[in-house]
Structure 1
Amino acid sequence: MSAKTSTHFNKELARRRLRLMQFTMHFGLLIILPCINSLQFTNPCEKSLQIKDASDFTKLTDYLNYSVDYKVDPCEDFYQFSCGNFIANTKDTLLNWEEMSLFKKMSDLYKREQREALNSKEQSKSEAITHARKLYHRCIRAEEEWNSTGVSGIDYVMGKIEKFGIFPMLSEEPFDEAQFNAEFDFTWLLAYFNQDLTVLDVIVPDIIRDFKIDIGLFWKISFVPRKTLLSYLGKDFTRKLQMNFTEFLLRL
């Protein structure tokens, strides 16, 4: 074996030994870290940190206590340590992960608190909460009252809509341009609030104004919605539509 070949062989051998040592240290740390973390070191801080009493950590602490079995040594059985209480507390019937997830529990809690806030009769300085409660009681809770009296909720709403003007899709009647009321018509309200084309073409008309701007009348109506609808509406007319739509919701 030449000196050059011997030198190359020694370098390759040293490189392999270094790589083997790196892998050994890496996997060794992965194995012993859980055991090191489980050792009871002297804590310079007081044990009464009262983390459970902190509002930001209460839910997380309860969730860990629900899942982790602290009686098991994590170095001997890490799966039983991390999931032991969860298995013991879970029913025999299989549940979806969404039903057991922390996000699902927080979502249910939020919805429950939201219902309580809407059902509360306490006075609030917030106009948003006041209007939300009014809309909730008149549109959602009122359904129970309608059913108890034998009156269908949809009939009540349809009666209110018909008072606001023509709505061909719901009333199943042809659109009569002669009876059109541009200042207070529910079909025009839908046209204004349907800029994103979320309603079918046959429901919402496209409003096209003639070039006679000085007269201020809408001469031509076609039933093809356009996103440029706002460009055909004057500011005064737009504000009137917004006021009428708000009044419609509050009068339901």
Structure 2
Amino acid sequence: MTLSKNKIKYIRSLELKKNRKAEGVFLAEGHKLVGDLLGHFPCLLLAATPEWFASGKHSSQLPADEIVEVSEEELARASLLKTPQQVLAVFRQPVYPTDTSVIGRSLCLALDGVQDPGNLGTIVRLADWFGIEDIFCSPNTADIYNPKAMQATMGGIAHVKLHYTPLPDLIQTLGADIPVYGTFLDGKNMYGETLSTHGLIVMGNEGNGISPEVSRLINRRLYIPNFPAGRETAESLNVAIATAIVCAEFRRQAPSL
């Protein structure tokens, strides 16, 4: 069985958000990513080379509606990668209920206008590493199902739920006792603060930081200090790097499980 021209056209069409949204699906490529997602999301189509099927890097019972063995040339025509990686798959997008009560009992992230798909995917990967299972995204945050974002998650999307929702409305539903953190140049030195094991950590846009509408609602303003203090440095940190630093400190302070 081979991939028809229409099937190849369909796979490549998933590069566009409007098509992914209309179909309710997303594309994943490469044995690591596809292997991590199989069994977590319904797989509608899996296309792979004979080498991938023979590699033993997957279960003998592949949970996919349609399985196609393709040549490297066929895979290259369908792939969105410069260097195709033997396997690609189309998965159904999950639909998660937006349960804000999780913020009151665990640590969650909020992304306010993060635009770069690579940054978004890396943040999902970080969240997975640090045991953060829910990320709340403003509507103008990049689409997690963008192929570049999906590749950057390195499979972390299998363990992290993303919710797209207006952040001011979300924060205003939280109780006054729920900590809402954000990083600012005029915040308190993060390493001198006692950080909570639950609440919301807001990370802002790559160029503009956290929006004024959300900034007004943050009740714990933090600062990531540069070293040494007072030294002239770059204006800011990459948002994914900043997220890693903040999450690491929160988890360092957390009681051992």
Q: TM-score range by the shorter chain?
A: under 0.3
Which structure exhibits the higher relative contact order, with contacts defined as CA atoms closer than 8 Å and separated by 6 or more residues?
Answer: 2
Which structure has the greater CA radius of gyration?
Answer: 1
Q: TM-score, with normalisation over the residues of structure 1?
A: 0.25
Say which structure is richer in helix: 1
Structure showing the higher strand proportion among its residues: 2
